[in-house]
Amino acid sequence: MNEQNEKQLEQLVHRELRKLPELPAPETLVHRVMLAVHVKEHQPWWQRSWWSWPRLMKVSSAAACVAAGTALVYFGAADAANSTTTVAT
């Protein structure tokens, strides 16, 4: 399809879509949206995204993750060192 045909097709589709009537929103839409906003605003902090947690909880959870990761690396490396020594003997 060349550029001229694409432009004509685009204009034709645009004209036809502009002729369509606007669809009305469902009557319950505003109520459902407001309810969803209300529910989201009143969630407990631990059910929200981590970035919106209180600072103390973010620091505590980050420290716990770092400690868990460090323990996994430390004990994983120790197990790997022990298993290679055991296999070597």
Range of the domain at 46: 3-88
pTM equals 0.49
Number of structural domains (the chain) is: 1
Residue 11: per-residue pLDDT: 95
CB 60 within 8 Å of CB 45:
no
CA distance 53 to 42: 13
Positions in the chain short of pLDDT 50? none
**Dihedral of alpha carbons 57, 58, 63, 69, sign:** positive
Q: Measuring CA to CA, which residue among 58, 2, 33 is closest to residue 10?
A: 2
- The pLDDT value given to residue 76: 82
Query: In the 8-state DSSP scheme, what is residue 2?
Result: -
- Residue 60 · residue 50 · CB < 8 Å: no
